[in-house]
Amino acid sequence: MPFYNYECVSCNNKFEAFHAVNDVLNTCTKCGEQTIKKVPSVITATVRDTQRQQAGDRVKEAIEENRRLLLDAMDHNKRDHKP
């Protein structure tokens, strides 16, 4: 199971959660509000030669997930700021 980074819109709490890909996290760990959003994370890896392909695949998946999150955030901002 991977770690995910979240930020609460209400209290600006930034936290990490460890859960399955299909699990949904809705509640801030600090204020208890249901105003959290998933935020992109920084990827670091130390690998051996035999693990490079697997690590490369994981990094590519993380990059695609972060790209999707950023595009969703940009789209959300555009909708909020229409005249």
In this structure, are 34 and 62 located in the same domain? no
In this structure, are 33 and 63 located in the same domain? no
Mean pLDDT of the residues in the chain: 83
Residue 46, both tokens: 């130390």
Nearest to 65 by CA among 47, 39, 45: 39
Alpha-carbon dihedral sign for residues 48, 52, 54, 59: positive
Per-residue pLDDT tens digits for 30-60: 999 999 999 987 666 555 656 677 778 888 8
The number of domains in the chain is 2
In this structure, are 31 and 67 located in the same domain? no
pLDDT above 80 (res 73): yes
DSSP assignment, residue 70? H
For 35-66, the DSSP string reads -EEEE---------GGGHHHHHHHHHHHHHHH
Q: Which domain holds residue 26?
A: 1-39
